[in-house]
Amino acid sequence: MRGSRQRRGVSVYPEGWGVGYDKSGHSRREGREFFLKCWMVILAGWLALGYGTAFAFAQAEQPTAAEKQSATTIVLPPSPKALLPDEFDGWVTTEPSKVVTDAAQFDPANAAALKEYGFNAAVVANYKRERETLSVRALRFDDATGAYGAYTYYRQNGWPKVDIGTGAASDNNRVIFWEGMVVVDATYSHIGPMTAGELREIAKQLPIPGGNRGMIPPILVNLPQSRLDGQTTHYAEGPAGYAGSGGVLPPSLVRFDKGAEAVTANYSLITGPATLTLIDYPTPQIAEAQEAAIRAYLKAGSKAQPPWPKPLTDSDQASLEVRHSGPLVALVSGDAVPDDSHRLLESVHYEANLTAIPQPVESEVEKTGRLLLGITVLTVVGASAAILLGGFLGGGRALYRLARGKPISSVFDEEFIHLDLREKWNENAEAIQGPHPKG
């Protein structure tokens, strides 16, 4: 149109949009930087969240004080040779120590009893110091219960007590003691004032088992302590150990095949000596049945089969009495008057010591760790889903454009009618001098 200003190739949008700016006036470079900063912040958040979760779980794996106290420590048995040193307090081995794993080879006369107590190895060493000699045998068992039983089996009634290890006794030149799972039997050519101290050095080096393997027989807590003669207790886990340690009843009547274990002890009552036998069975029902069988055996007297053992025949028949309490069967024998024997028997009471098994408790740290882990998993899953969905939609659009013969990206598309406002005005003299179109 004449007289009008011609605007050729001029865009209606701000300068540079289409080559470097978005609608808000920011350049695409600034947009890319903002996008990268956002992703860096998200990535840093993920890393912090993952580190916090890992730290929380690491703290949760650390046992608490209560867990450490209730934990059971498993101690592997040492090599049998480690039970006895090559030298101590001037004593030196005259030859290499000998290790024996067969109870029949170690002690043929008592092999059956040793097997019942759980014998698994022994070491024999001979020492010499100047003109004196010392022979030491160290017997290792599966647990402390077996070691205690073997100690009471070898130790005879009346041996004086010695302060070595958990329990010790001596008979002239022979000293026997037990510590942990080990029984030590030492025979000196000459006993001196330092003998006990020398053996204590060996006792300190013996391993101490943990957990249930370090427990003494629970049946011992049921023995009345009043007027109990020290060094007379004998514990048996089988017929050979029971008979060999002077059991009162025939082993077949005790019924070790039903899981019984027995302990015998002597008491000095006012009216005479007495022997108390306690037999622990797995259930009260078995104990009740065995009580009836033992009572019938005692009533049979000289006609009983098998015949009464010597401890029964030497007892006052009027003082023989049997009763049961829970899974325990108690028998009293000896020369005390019936009233004293009855009072001793009545002092036996079974008390069930129930121990609660600690259940695993989730700590607060572990709860926090699980919460952070859940948040991390949820964030990663959501971000992955967003990335996959964006890739699917963006990739689909790119393929669609590519199929239509267009570039994949539409960033530089000129899809709008625009006027190039960057061009200078083109005006001729006629247009300037001419009349205005509207007059």
pLDDT (tens digit per residue) in 241-259: 999 999 999 999 999 999 9
Q: Look at strands 132-141 and 167-171 and give their pairing.
A: unpaired
Domains of the chain, residue spans: 80-214, 218-346
pTM > 0.85: no
C-beta of residue 375 within 8 angstroms of C-beta of residue 383: no
The per-residue DSSP string of 356-396 comes to PPPPP---HHHHHHHHHHHHHHHHHHHHHHHHHHHHHHHHH
Instruction: Indicate if the alpha-carbon torsion angle 387, 390, 396, 399 is positive or negative.
Output: negative
Specify the higher pLDDT residue, 22 or 84.
84
pLDDT digits (tens, 9 = 90+) for 335-391: 999 999 999 999 998 866 544 444 455 667 777 878 888 888 888 888 887 877 776
**Cα–Cα dist 224/321, whole Å:** 16
C-beta of residue 164 within 8 angstroms of C-beta of residue 175: yes
What phi-psi label fits residue 51: left (phi over 0), alpha (psi between -120 and 50 degrees) or beta? alpha
With pLDDT > 70 as the criterion, what percentage of the chain qualifies?
68
Long-range contacts of 268-272 (CB under 8 A, 24+ apart): 268/227, 268/229, 269/227, 269/334, 269/336, 269/340, 269/341, 269/344, 270/336, 270/340, 271/336, 271/337, 271/339, 271/340, 272/334, 272/335, 272/336, 272/337, 272/340
**Cα–Cα dist 216/211, whole Å:** 11
Give φ, ψ of 124 to 5 degrees.
Answer: -120, 130
**Cα–Cα dist 240/112, whole Å:** 6
- Give the DSSP letter of residue 21: B
According to the model, what pLDDT value does residue 33 have? 56
pLDDT digits (tens, 9 = 90+) for 154-174: 999 989 999 999 999 999 899
With pLDDT > 90 as the criterion, what percentage of the chain qualifies?
55
Whether residue 57 is predicted with pLDDT greater than 70 in this model: the reply is no
**Cα–Cα dist 311/316, whole Å:** 10
Q: Sorting pLDDT into bands at 50, 70 and 90, what band is 26?
A: very low
Q: How far is CA 323 from the centre of its chain?
A: 39
In this structure, the number of other CB atoms found within 10 A of the CB of residue 412 comes to: 8
According to the model, what pLDDT value does residue 21 have? 46
Q: What is the mean pLDDT of residues 171-195?
A: 94
34, burial (CB in 10 Å: exposed 0-12, middle 13-18, buried 19+) = exposed
The residue assigned the tokens 């010597």 is: 310
According to the model, what pLDDT value does residue 196 have? 92
Architecture of the 80-214 domain: 3-Layer(aba) Sandwich (3.40)
**Cα–Cα dist 346/134, whole Å:** 47
According to the model, what pLDDT value does residue 349 have? 84
Short-list 353, 352, 351, 309, CA closest to 331: 309
C-beta of residue 127 within 8 angstroms of C-beta of residue 134: yes
pLDDT digits (tens, 9 = 90+) for 75-132: 455 566 678 999 998 999 999 999 999 999 999 999 999 999 999 999 999 999 999 9
Whether residue 310 is predicted with pLDDT greater than 60 in this model: the reply is yes
C-beta of residue 184 within 8 angstroms of C-beta of residue 178: yes
According to the model, what pLDDT value does residue 315 have? 94
According to the model, what pLDDT value does residue 17 have? 43
**Cα–Cα dist 189/88, whole Å:** 17
According to the model, what pLDDT value does residue 350 have? 81
Q: Look at strands 119-129 and 91-93 and give their pairing.
A: antiparallel
Three-state DSSP class for residue 296: helix
**Cα–Cα dist 361/364, whole Å:** 10
